[in-house]
Amino acid sequence: MYPSVNSDIFPFANLGFKMREDDYFSDKEAVIQRQYQLNPWFTPEFIKYSYQIIKEILDVDYLKSRFSSSSDVLSGKTIGLVPDGMMPMSAFVDMLCVLIMGGTCALKLHPKDELLMSFLIQELEEVEPMLKHRISVVDKLPKCDAIIVNDMEDSHAIWERYLQQIPHLLRPRQASVAILTGHESEQELVSLSKDISLFFGRSRAAVHTVFVPRNYDFVPFLRTLGTQTQSLAQHHQFLNHLEYQKSIRLMNKQFYMDAGTFLFVEQIQEIAPTGVIHYAFYQDVDEAQEWLNLHRDEVYCVVSQAGACDDGKPFGTVFSDKDFPLDSTVHFLMTI
C-alpha cells in the first residue's frame, strides 16, 4: 500500500489491486452471463471492457494525483446518483468521486445495470466494510444535498423541474463528434472505429457525428469501420435496430451509405439513433468549429488529428481518457 493524504483512496486502490489479479474473472463468468441475459446490450466482451476502464482508474498513483487534497470535502453530505445505464457499471465513476471526497451515496441504479453494479459495490464493501454505511441502493431518492443525473432519454426538462430547488449536475443526452481531414492513417481510422462502435455506440461517449471536407472519399473509412465491427453483425438486437433504420430511409427515399454495421446519413440536427452515424461536409474546418461552439452542451468530446480543431482529442480515446469522466463530477462536487 502506498501512503496518501486522503485515506478514502485506500479501498479503491485495493480494489484496483484485486482487479489486476490474473484470476479476477475466474469467479465472475456466471454473473457476467447472467447480466448479459438480463440486458443483451451488455455483452461479455463489453462488460470486460468496462472492467478494464475501471481498473485503469483505480491505479493508486492516479487516484493520489486526483484526490489527495480533496478528503472530507463532502463530509456529512448525501449525494444522489442517477446513472443512464448505457454501459456496464456506468455509475461507478460518480460513486468513486463522492466516496473519496468524503460523502455518502444514494444510488438509484438503472434497471438494466443493477446486477453488475451491485456486485461491484459488494466487492468494494468487502475491501472496506465501513463503506457499507456510506453506500445505499434505493428505489426512490431520499432527501439529498445534491444530485447527479445522467440523462440519455430526453427527459432533461422533467429533471430540471424536479431538481430546481436542489444543487444538481444534470448531464443531458450527449454524443461525441469526429472531425476528419481526409488525411487520416489506417490506424487512425481503426481507432475512430472503436470510438464509434464500443458499447454499440449507445454510450454518451461514442462518436455519433462526423464532419468531413467536401469531396471526402468515404470508401476507406467505411471499409475500415465494417472490418472492425464485424462482431456487431452477430448481435440480434443491434441488427434489428439497424434494419429498422434502413427501412425508414428506404421508405422515405433518403440516401444513406452502408458500412455493414452502421448507416451514414447526412444530417446533424440531432443525435443519431443506434446504428446510425450522422455526417456533414465543411468547406473550411472553421465551419465545424462554429457548429461545435453552438452545440457544446450536446457534445461529450471531440476527436481529430492533432491541430485539426480546438480541444480535439486523439482518435480512440473517448473511452480511455481517465480524466474526462472525472472532471465534471469533481468540479461540481467541489462547489457544494
Distance of CA 48 to the CA centre of its chain: 14
Whole-number pLDDT of residue 310: 78
State mean pLDDT over 156-164: 82
Q: Which of 195-199, 254-258, 276-280, 324-328 has the lowest mean pLDDT?
A: 324-328
Alpha-carbon distances of 275 from 207, 243, 264, 326, rounded to whole Å:
11, 9, 9, 28
Burial class of residue 248, CB neighbours in 10 A (0-12, 13-18, 19+): middle
Residue 168's pLDDT band (cuts 50, 70, 90): very high
State mean pLDDT over 131-158: 89
Beta-carbon-side half-sphere exposure of residue 105 (alpha carbons within 13 Å):
25
pLDDT digits (tens, 9 = 90+) for 74-129: 999 999 999 999 999 999 999 999 999 999 999 999 988 999 999 999 999 999 99
Q: What is the DSSP letter of 56?
A: H
> What are the structural domains of the chain?
9-173 (3.40.605.10), 175-304 (3.40.309.10)
State mean pLDDT over 142-152: 91
CB atoms within 10 A of CB 255: 9
Burial class of residue 11, CB neighbours in 10 A (0-12, 13-18, 19+): buried
State mean pLDDT over 39-57: 96
The distance in angstroms from the start CA to the end CA of the chain is 31
Residue 142's pLDDT band (cuts 50, 70, 90): very high
More confident residue, 184 or 271: 184
Alpha-carbon distances of 312 from 131, 236, 257, 284, 301, rounded to whole Å:
38, 34, 26, 16, 8
State mean pLDDT over 145-166: 84
